[in-house]
Chain A
Amino acid sequence: MARPRRALALALTLAAALSALWLPVEAQAQGLRSLHVDALSMRADRTRVPVGETFHLAIHARVRERVAALDELVVPDVGSMHLLGDERHVSAGPGGTDIVETLTLEPTTPGPFTFPAAYFDAIDANTKKPSRFAANPVRVVVTAQAVYYASTRTVLFPLVARVLVMAVALFAVLALVVLVVALRGRKRIPVVPAAAPPAPVPAAPPRTPRDEVADAFRAYRSAPADGALRRLRAALFAAAGVPPGATLRDALANTGDAALRPVLSAAEHAAFGPARARDDASRELSDATEAWLR
């Protein structure tokens, strides 16, 4: 009998707690606004803040309706931190209203601190029910420089010194082992006449941008299609020392080769000029490229 009675008592307690949570929202429902809430978030611009320095905690709400203010917004308790500023911006646009409240805070005591979620009560326009909309909690770590330096001196320095001593000892042992093995090995290894070095192979000269242009030009002259023109233009731009995605002005500004300039301009004309003038542009590009390659 004892077990069902305990279960009943637990259920009653839970129900009472839940109704206590629900009641304030229900009781205020008459005074609540009906809103489509698209977003409610909270974030800090720094997650680690030394004591005495300031940081900002921004709460951003977005509702689909045009509202002048969101006075229902309850900002989180900031504990022992000094509240230096509280600024609220409301901007309404055709898609709704953005409300941004920015708190400027200065922590006074070190340690981790979690801001409870900012929230507001409204009638959820989607469900037509009174609801509490809450943002995410935000955690910041407040550091104290004095404590940090003290711990560096008393904890970190001895630790580093110990690790260094151990590393030096290990290195000395390893060096000794390598020396012993090398001395023994020298007696056993038979002397083998050294093989004749391979005949030197002449290395191919590195390809230059001019070679790339020459290849692309050959391909363009045999079939002056769009793809070949793109390749030739890219090779010319590379010869001017600019990366892909650069424009003619970049290429002209970058190259010191005066002879390359008319070739670059001709490539631009051929690539983007009107179809009716394409033959002339293509001929102009071919002549200019040929002259430059010579």
Chain B
Amino acid sequence: MSRPSDVLDALHATIVGQDEVVEALVLGLIAGGHILLEGTPGVAKTLACRALAASVGGVFRRVQFTPDLLPSDVVGTRIFDQKTGEFATVFGPLFANVVLADEINRAPAKVQSALLEGMQERRATIGLQTHDLPAPFVVLATMNPYDTDGTYPLPLAQLDRFLAKVIVRYPTRDEEQAIVDRFSGDEPALRAGVATLADVQRWQREAHGVFVDAKVRDYAIDIVRASRSAELVAHGASPRAALALVALARARAYLEGRSFAAPDDVRDLAAAVLRHRISYDDRIAIEDGHPEDVVREIVGSVRAP
């Protein structure tokens, strides 16, 4: 029987550094939530997602979001089969265990909404029929923060459906040397099948049973509530953020083999839960503030139990 730490090791065998990203992907898998990755091109966002899908032996699909993408390109469509004289359903890339939505903000709202509906409901409607998406089902979406011309920013309500948003940073010098050494020739094979889809579903059930003490729960709630009255914040995080923070804390405890969530879990994961759920006041531009600093201040303003 595999453990989630096996998947973590498999990802580390492929990805150089990016500990926070790798951990967030595994936590998303355990908590059954979707993860948004933000980073410049070429920092291993796609590779990390492919490595994750390979490690659990699931079906992996990648959708490159572009301005001319249609909802049917993601969800699927019904086509007329001339041989049988009937309409047949062709399932789109959404019907996979790990879906990589590359540059999600490059497609118009209609396509984003089709994807996000599937993320929320775990079902998709093609024609008149509604189909369940496979389980486990995880969407990993990427966004490039700089090249924003011609993009369609995701509204807060849709961003709220992502369990966490992780910033994929540039590697350190040592890491960059290791990347060049490891990937200069043929791309190394991904470590496939270290766990099964049945394992993942078991992890999700067991992680749900991880104990969260009332003090730890209240700490998570206090951090989310602090986001609503913080300086330079126009709209704070919703109660869904508190749910996400507790779910991630449980997943982290499970990943580390603990039977209980600790204040460290909440504090470490709070920024990833909050950063995409907050909208900022216009004064942040005038006062030359940085959203990451605001989030850090929110988390630091609440005393751990």
Contact = CB atoms under 8 A, between A and B. Distances in A.
Interface of A: 45, 56, 58, 60, 89, 91, 93-95, 98, 100, 102, 244-249, 268-269, 271-274, 277
Given A272-B216, A273-B260, A277-B259, A100 B234 contact: no
Nearest to A233: B305
Contact of A60 (B235, B260, B263, B282): B282
Question: Does more than half of chain B's interface fall in helix, strand or loop, or is it mixed?
Answer: mixed
A272 B262 contact: yes
Contact of B259 (A93, A268, A273): A273
Interface in B245-301: 259-264, 267-268, 279, 281-283, 285-287
Contacts, number: 59
B304 A89 contact: no
Interface string B149-169: 000000000000000000000
Interface string B20-56: 0000000000000000000000000000000000000
A272 B263 contact: yes
B211 A89 contact: no
Contacts of B231: none
B206 interface: no
A93 B278 CA distance: 12
Nearest 6 A/B pairs, CB to CB: A274-B211, A245-B303, A100-B282, A272-B213, A247-B264, A273-B260
A247 B282 contact: no
Question: Does more than half of chain A's interface fall in helix, strand or loop, or is it mixed?
Answer: mixed
B282 A98 contact: yes
B182 interface: no
B260 A56 contact: no
Given A98-B234, A272-B216, A273-B211, A246 B286 contact: no
Contact of B235 (A93, A102, A244): A93
A269 to B, nearest CB: 7
6 contacts: A100-B283, A100-B286, A246-B304, A272-B211, A272-B261, A272-B263
A292 B211 CA distance: 28
Q: Which of B213, B235, B282 has most A Cβ within 10 Å?
A: B282
A163 to B, nearest CB: 41
A93 B233 CA distance: 13
Contact of A274 (B259, B285, B303): B259
A247 B263 CA distance: 7
B215 interface: yes
Nearest to B285: A89
B304 A58 contact: no
Contacts of A244: 303
Interface of B: 211, 213, 215-216, 234-235, 259-264, 267-268, 279, 281-283, 285-287, 303-305
Contacts of A248: 262-264
A111 B139 CA distance: 61
A271 B235 CA distance: 34
A160 B279 CA distance: 54
A245 B264 CA distance: 11
A290 B260 CA distance: 24
B303 A56 contact: no
Contacts of B261: 272
A247 B260 contact: no
A272 B260 contact: yes
B234 A272 contact: no
Contact of B304 (A98, A100, A247): A247
Given A93-B234, A247-B304, A273-B211, A268 B282 contact: no
A68 to B, nearest CB: 16
Given A272-B260, A272-B261, A93 B279 contact: yes
Contacts of A56: 286
Contact of B282 (A89, A249, A269, A274): A89
Contacts of A58: 283, 286
A236 B281 CA distance: 42
A58 B264 CA distance: 41
A269 B211 CA distance: 11
A244 B304 CA distance: 8
B304 A102 contact: no
Contacts of A246: 304
Contacts of A245: 303-304
Contacts of B287: 45
A46 to B, nearest CB: 12
Contacts of B234: 91, 93, 98
A91 B264 CA distance: 36
Contacts of A249: 264, 268
Contacts of A45: 286-287
Contacts of A274: 211, 259-260
Contacts of B215: 271-272
Given A247-B262, A272-B213, A272-B261, 11 more contacts: A60-B283, A91-B282, A244-B303, A247-B264, A249-B264, A249-B268, A271-B213, A271-B215, A271-B305, A272-B260, A272-B263
A274 B268 CA distance: 21
Contacts of A100: 282-283, 285-286
A102 B286 CA distance: 8
A280 to B, nearest CB: 11
A269 B260 contact: yes
Contacts of B305: 271
Contacts of B213: 271-273
Contact of B262 (A89, A93, A268, A277): A268
